[in-house]
């Protein structure tokens, strides 16, 4: 049975690498980067992949692999930090880049190299780095470069070691999957097998085994992940599930009414909790984004504990997905931002267990599962909305005035986008109230009001994203409506930063 091991150096995309390889029909597992060589060899892998990571290899605290890894005889592919680590460990040099590279980058590859077999010379690959290899280790050759990165890929054919500075595992690297296939099948000689996909019955059985005869509350919103969780858990335990919707006062226009209406038509026990005052009090005077996220997570959890006590529930379920886990710094990744359903769960709590059926799935996989379950179209077509709501779309302190301004601006943006044909709409779109005020002239008078930023992206897995290419005419119409209809907003800007280097949300 063929198998590839991914050595985890703390990168955001390590599980995405594993997913790509599993989709090819080959087993792939993530293991700590410092796993002893004897433990690696005991698993009999066909090859090894070194993941990316947030560290600099020349730092004394940067992660390392077993020094015997390079003489074990297995094919190795290093990605991003993985390339830098290989160079550093084998006598090359890594330095800070004069010009960093973030985003889709024209990369010139050598098609004669086994890693790039079948590819054209010019490729667009996703770069995300501030360090780079500046001197090759002995026995290596340069097999790809960009305008600002002389060693975008390197290879030692004799030792069967390959490395790339870019990320072939993400969809924004157009031929990235082909590169991974070249490594897995051409270099490692792995053999594909029929893929075993987890079925709905598997999810339901897992939930039954976790909850047993207990009761469970599920935190729900208007999003797809909580709707899928509700469907699965209800199928597993029936009326022992209670769905709890928390109105924290940071919802979009008409959101509370829409969610209460849709859940009233579904068979689940449902309770709506008005918690606006407690969230407003907890967030008063708080400006830091991470602190806001953690406070929101803490308050959510406190509400869930109170509701669980009232109905005697032993378990709490959340719609956590894999990107939430990774961005929150779990599983050796850098903490990009604490998601409320990851960073807000205290270690000491009253629950027997936290049920997270979708924790290992990416958002596009959740959407596929939703279609199999027959989840209502309301959830499938609804815009993704973070649990902290507008609270993380307001830069700085959350106030009633800012919420009112943002709610109106966001609603105008959504109305205009939803007039577009379905196939032209971005995956996600929303407004942000920035921490800046700007001088404007309205009615022959001076105003000093907020700057509204518009954000719209296209993505599949939400691990990477590109900005949506709106026309100037469309943006102009949205801008005109916002500055004319929203008191307190006098300027509108459009965010064209991709992910990476940005995240989808501003906070």
* Residue 127: exposure state from Cβ atoms within 10 A (0-12, 13-18, ≥19): buried
Residue 429 φ/ψ, nearest 5 degrees: -150, 140
Name the one residue in this structure whose structure tokens are 């999003």: 223
**In contact, 20 and 63? CB cutoff 8 Å:** no
Q: Which residues pair with 437 in a beta bridge?
A: 450
Active site residue 243: no
Name the one residue in this structure whose structure tokens are 């943002």: 406
Q: Give the active site residue among 15, 33, 55, 80.
A: 80
Distances 257 to 68, 222, 247, 301, 410 between C-alpha atoms, Å: 61, 10, 10, 23, 17
Two structure tokens written together for 323? 């990107």
Active site residue 33: no
d(CA 159, CA 141): 12
Which of these, 399, 429, 451, 395, lies nearest to 504 by C-alpha position?
429
* H or E element, residue 270: strand 269-274
Q: Give the active site residue among 15, 101, 169, 356.
A: 169
Beta strands 466-467; 445-458: pairing state: antiparallel
d(CA 359, CA 369): 13
Q: Which residues pair with 315 in a beta bridge?
A: 216, 353
- Residue 312 DSSP SS3: coil
- Residue 184 DSSP SS3: helix
Q: Give the active site residue among 55, 167, 339, 340.
A: 167
Distances 9 to 43, 180, 423 between C-alpha atoms, Å: 19, 18, 38
d(CA 152, CA 67): 24
Active site residue 261: no
d(CA 335, CA 342): 11
Q: Which residues are catalytic?
A: 80, 167, 169
């Amino acid at each position: 049975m063929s198998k590839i091991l991914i050595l985890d150096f703390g990168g955001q995309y390590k599980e995405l690498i594993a997913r790509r390889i599993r989709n090819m029909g080959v087993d792939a597992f993530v293991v700590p980067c410092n796993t002893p060589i004897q433990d690696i060899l005991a698993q009999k892998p066909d090859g090894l992949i070194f993941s990316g990571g947030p560290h600099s290899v020349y730092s004394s605290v940067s992660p390392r692999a077993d020094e015997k890894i390079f003489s074990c005889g297995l094919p190795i592919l290093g990605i991003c930090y993985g390339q830098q680590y290989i160079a550093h460990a084998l006598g090359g040099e890594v330095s800070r880049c004069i010009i960093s590279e973030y985003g889709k980058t024209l990369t010139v590859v050598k098609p004669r190299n086994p890693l790039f077999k079948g590819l054209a010379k010019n490729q667009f690959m996703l770069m995300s780095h501030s360090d780079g290899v500046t001197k090759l280790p002995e026995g290596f050759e340069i097999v790809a470069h960009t305008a600002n990165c002389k060693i975008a890929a390197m290879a030692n054919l004799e030792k069967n070691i390959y490395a790339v500075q870019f990320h072939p595992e993400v969809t924004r690297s157009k031929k990235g999957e082909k590169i991974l296939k070249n490594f897995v099948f051409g270099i490692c000689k792995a053999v594909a097998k029929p893929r075993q996909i987890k079925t709905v019955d598997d999810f339901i059985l897992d939930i039954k085994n976790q909850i047993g005869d207990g009761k469970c509350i599920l935190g729900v919103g208007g999003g797809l992940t909580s709707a899928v969780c509700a469907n699965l858990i209800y199928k597993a335990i029936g009326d022992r599930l209670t769905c709890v919707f928390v109105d924290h006062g940071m919802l979009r226009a008409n959101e509370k009414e829409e969610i209460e209406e849709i859940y009233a038509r579904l068979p689940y026990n449902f309770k709506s909790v008005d918690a606006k005052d407690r969230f407003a009090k907890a967030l008063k005077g708080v400006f830091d984004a991470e602190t806001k996220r953690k406070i929101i997570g803490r308050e959510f959890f406190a509400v869930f504990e109170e509701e669980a006590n009232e109905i005697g529930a032993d378990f709490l379920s959340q719609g956590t997905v894999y990107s939430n886990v990774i961005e929150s710094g779990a599983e050796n990744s850098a903490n990009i931002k604490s998601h409320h359903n990851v960073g807000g769960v205290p270690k000491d709590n009253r629950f027997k267990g936290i049920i997270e059926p979708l924790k290992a799935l990416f958002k596009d996989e959740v959407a596929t599962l939703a279609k199999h379950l027959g989840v209502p179209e309301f959830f499938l077509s609804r815009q993704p909305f973070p649990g902290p709501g507008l609270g993380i779309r307001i830069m700085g302190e959350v106030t009633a005035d800012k919420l009112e301004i943002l709610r109106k601006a966001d609603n105008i943006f959504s109305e205009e986008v939803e007039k577009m044909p379905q196939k032209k709409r971005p995956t996600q779109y929303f407004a942000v109230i920035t921490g800046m005020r700007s001088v404007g002239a309205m009615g022959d008078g001076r105003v000093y009001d907020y700057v509204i930023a518009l954000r719209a992206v296209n993505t599949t897995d939400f691990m990477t994203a590109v900005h949506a290419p709106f026309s100037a005419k469309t943006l102009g119409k949205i801008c005109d409506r916002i500055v004319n209809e929203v008191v307190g907003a006098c300027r509108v800007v459009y965010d064209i930063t991709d992910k990476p280097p940005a995240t989808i949300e501003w906070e």
